[in-house]
């Protein structure tokens, strides 16, 4: 079982093509490419943490997309996920839905044998255990956010990662190159 992270697919959102300069001729091509890229990496037994802004469509259309995606899906709500929040059917497509999530991954190569990952749709300036090496992953900024400091923080949205989820191992390689955030506790 592999753990993956992603955000901001914006399925069926026509304007995202121009807002983010996505390299697709139309929404249908984008939708299919995002589904194909997801399923090329994610196997049915894998886990995917989606950090918001899933789709811009009706309940039935969103459900059909979610049904086509491999893996067990967790949703950390984004600012455009009201249709999912308001739908029992759509919420049932996820193992869990929430606004914020702290994940602990067993990792023998990590400090103390585990890695803490703080997840939200929005980027934080400070997060739980940042000064102890926890990671913060987020979406929302479509690869355009310039961090005001060096730390273990990353936009895991599709626009920043070749329109596909990234695995824990891929994330670890990126985070291993980043410093632990220095925090003044006063």
Positive or negative torsion for Cα 17, 23, 28, 33: negative
Spatial separation of the C-alpha atoms in residues 135 and 114, rounded to whole Å: 12
> Cα 94 to chain center, whole Å?
14
What's domain 3-175's architecture? 4-Layer Sandwich (3.60)
Phi/psi of residue 63, each to 5°? -60, -40
pLDDT band (50, 70, 90) for residue 185 = low
Mean pLDDT for the chain overall: 94
Spatial separation of the C-alpha atoms in residues 174 and 143, rounded to whole Å: 15
For the chain, the residue count is 186
Spatial separation of the C-alpha atoms in residues 110 and 122, rounded to whole Å: 25
User: Among 48, 90, 96, 92, which residue's Cα sits nearest to residue 69?
Assistant: 48
Q: For residue range 147-170, what is the model confidence (pLDDT) as tens digits?
A: 888 899 999 999 999 999 999 999
Q: What's the confidence (pLDDT) of residue 186?
A: 45
pTM of the model: 0.95
Spatial separation of the C-alpha atoms in residues 158 and 142, rounded to whole Å: 7
User: Among 95, 52, 97, 54, which residue's Cα sits nearest to residue 73?
Assistant: 95
Q: For residue range 52-72, what is the model confidence (pLDDT) as tens digits?
A: 999 999 999 999 999 999 999
For the record, the structure tokens of 88 come out as 């029992």
Lowest mean pLDDT among 57-71, 123-137, 172-186: 172-186
Q: Above 70 in pLDDT, residue 184?
A: no
The number of C-alpha atoms within 13 Å of 114 and in the hemisphere containing its C-beta is 8
């Amino acid at each position: 079982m592999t753990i993956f992270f992603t955000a901001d697919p914006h399925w069926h959102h026509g304007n995202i093509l121009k807002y983010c300069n996505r390299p697709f001729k139309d929404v249908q091509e984008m939708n299919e490419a995002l589904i194909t890229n997801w399923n090329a990496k994610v196997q049915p037994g894998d886990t995917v943490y989606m950090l918001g802004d899933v789709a811009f469509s009706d309940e039935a259309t969103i459900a059909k997309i979610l049904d086509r995606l491999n893996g067990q899906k967790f949703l950390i709500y984004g600012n455009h996920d009201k249709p999912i929040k308001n739908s029992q059917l759509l919420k049932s497509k996820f193992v869990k839905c929430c606004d914020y999530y702290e994940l602990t991954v067993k990792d023998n190569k990590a400090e103390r044998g585990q890695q803490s990952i703080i997840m939200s749709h929005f980027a934080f300036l400070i997060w739980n255990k940042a000064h102890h090496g926890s990671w913060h992953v987020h979406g929302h900024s479509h690869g355009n956010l310039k961090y005001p400091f060096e730390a273990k923080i990353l936009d895991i949205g599709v626009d920043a990662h070749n329109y596909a989820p990234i695995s824990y191992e891929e994330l670890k390689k990126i985070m291993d190159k980043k410093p632990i955030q220095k925090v003044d506790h006063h």
